[in-house]
Amino acid sequence: MDPRPRPRTAVLGAGEVPWDSPVAPADDAGLRGDGCFETLLVHGGDPARTVRLEEHLDRFARGAGQVGIPFDRAGWVALVRSLTGDVPAGTEAALRLSLSRSELGVATLRPVPATVRAGRDGVHVVTLARGTSTVPDAPWLLTAAKTSSYAVNSAALREARRRGAEDALFLDAAGEVLEAPTANLLWRAQGRWWTPPQAGRAVLPGTTLAAVTARFGVQERACRPGDLLRAEGAWLLSSLRGAAPVRSLDGTPLPVAATLTGALQRTALGL
């Protein structure tokens, strides 16, 4: 038996369809970024375990509300259950839920990509100016919601790769760190855990950061790139990668604390 999770697709209200079937009409509003989505980690087994499902559904419902799309929570729970049932023990799967303006809800399940798993060993990061398109200037952009408008986030990752790195940290107009394109920032200094302030800023409230905060007591503090260079360690927190240690920032190496990373990773990955 192939020990990898089988790729699967299901449509809200219609159930499972062949993995590669074209489920969205060619002019679906979701293709123009008008919708919202979630990405979740599934640990295989009997039963399989979807990490922080309720927290993801809470944020999904909030995102749907922010963009004004009806949200069928019970329908999503049933869809997740039906798709995650046969993920083999000892494997991990990535589950993506997406909902578009046309109320097309799609769930896909596939193995966690190798590049994502590799990020758990560490990532090289560059800083990128987010410019003025942040919450105080343009709240209507919903930059702190997980909408499908990820063009800026994708562009940031492309630019990071062009510069020979794997990830990026956005800086606001004042030069303070916000978050990464698909992760929140955590760092350790003076024996404490810190993350940049979220309220009123272009920072998505991450479910991984919330779990790490509940376990380790993370506080908010404004952060400039120089603060990270003096830190005891820094990590990018997100559902699939867990706690990815930052190995370098704009080419300057950062300390990677293996013991701290191990402890963070267990909480981050829901182990």
Binding site for ligand PLP (CB under 6 A): 39, 146, 153, 179, 181-184, 204, 206-209, 237-239
Alpha carbons 97 and 84: distance in angstroms, whole number: 12
Nearest distance, CB of residue 119 and ligand PLP, angstroms: 13
DSSP annotation of 24 reads S
Closer residue to ligand PLP in complex, CB, 95/237: 237
Nearest distance, CB of residue 201 and ligand PLP, angstroms: 12
Alpha carbons 87 and 85: distance in angstroms, whole number: 6
Closer residue to ligand PLP in complex, CB, 20/128: 128
Nearest distance, CB of residue 26 and ligand PLP, angstroms: 26
DSSP annotation of 139 reads G
Nearest distance, CB of residue 110 and ligand PLP, angstroms: 16
Residue carrying structure tokens 């869809």: 79
Q: Smallest Cα–Cα separation from 90: which of 207, 212, 211, 2?
A: 2
Closer residue to ligand PLP in complex, CB, 87/204: 204
Nearest distance, CB of residue 38 and ligand PLP, angstroms: 8
CA 175 to chain centre: 23
The CA distances from residue 67 to 47, 71, 73, 198, 220, in Å, are 34, 11, 16, 20, 28
Closer residue to ligand PLP in complex, CB, 3/220: 220
Closer residue to ligand PLP in complex, CB, 120/146: 146
In sequence order, the β-bridge partners of residue 95 are: 40, 109
